A and B are shown apart, each in its own frame.
Chain A
Amino acid sequence: MSLKDLERLKQQATDAQKNKTDIQIVVNMGSCSMAKNAGDTYDAIADEIKKRGLEQVEIIKTGCFGMCESEPLIEIIKKGQPKVTYGKITPDKARHIVASHIVNDQVVGELVLSVDE
């Protein structure tokens, strides 16, 4: 590994970022999230995405952001729109969010924690 290699890697990662799919669902999966069944939430989302054939949607796992009280926490990032964060998402609620927010562009207001860019 040299500096050049590192820079090339970063460039690749940057390009990959640009070419990312239009919709990303970020699921927090740290231990506290897992302790509150984030695993099931993730599975429900993955299942719903697959069932509906939503190929343009990418699911990303991250660590815990620190708002453990609101776990499981998921974020929906749609190109050109502010990021929406949902808190306390059970598998059922997750399916609802996929149907409503991802497919029909309907933010599920009562579950929203915050909106930011």
Chain B
Amino acid sequence: MNQMTNPAYQIDDNYLDQVEKIAKQHSGRAEDLVLVLHKVQALKNYLPRTALNVVAKGLNVSESHVYGVATYYSMLSTKPRGRHIIRICESAPCHVQKARELIDAMLEHLDIEIGGTTKDGRFTVETTSCLGLCAVAPVVMIDDKVYGNLDRDTLFEVLTKYN
């Protein structure tokens, strides 16, 4: 599906109402910005520009400040992403357990590049620094679930659980 026609990426009033509701709960509390962005992102898996503006108004901070924070943290994205986020660890402890072969195999399997989204909008693949699961390296995190001791077969099998 084309990104622009995918309903997940459509911004409508209903969505913006939801964003506003979230921002209202933290109104005037600028220190909650990161938390608010987490909550807003949970709606569509990314942070559309219009949503950031609503958040800025709600928390009474500047739009540029919100944009600066949203682009700073690796878990937050201002670009549309797939329905599931795959985070694959590439830090040294995973690296010496063949993480790179796993990354390459997965990219080939899904036919995308790092940071890219599959054509069906199912997955976005991102690399990440250590997830603190080095004892079961190599490690992949899909949304909020972690999978360890993977090789290409077990990883591909895990991927089939998501749609």
Contacts and interface: CB of A to CB of B under 8 A. Distances in A.
Do A and B contact each other directly (Cβ–Cβ < 8 Å)?
yes
Interface string A25-37: 0000001101110
A68 B93 CA distance: 14
A75 interface: no
A68 B149 CA distance: 11
A105 interface: no
A36 B147 CA distance: 6
A101 B148 CA distance: 28
Nearest to A37: B147
Contacts of A35: 133, 136, 139, 146-149
Contacts of A36: 136, 148-149
Residues of A contacting B: mostly: helix
A31 B132 contact: yes
A101 B100 CA distance: 41
Interface in B70-126: none
Contacts of A32: 133, 135-136, 148
Contact of A34 (B132, B135, B146, B149): B146
Contacts of B145: 34
Contacts of B135: 32, 68-69
Q: Which of B133, B135, B149 has the most CB of A within 10 A?
A: B135
Q: Which of A34, A35, A36, A69 has the most CB of B within 10 A?
A: A35
Interface of A: 31-32, 34-36, 68-69, 71
Given A31-B133, A34-B146, A35-B139, 9 more contacts: A31-B132, A31-B146, A32-B133, A32-B148, A35-B148, A36-B148, A68-B135, A68-B136, A71-B136
Query: What are the 6 closest A-B residue pairs judged by CB atoms, nearest first?
Result: A68-B135, A35-B148, A35-B146, A35-B136, A32-B136, A35-B133
14 contacts: A31-B132, A31-B133, A31-B146, A32-B135, A34-B145, A34-B146, A35-B146, A35-B147, A36-B136, A36-B148, A36-B149, A68-B135, A68-B136, A71-B136
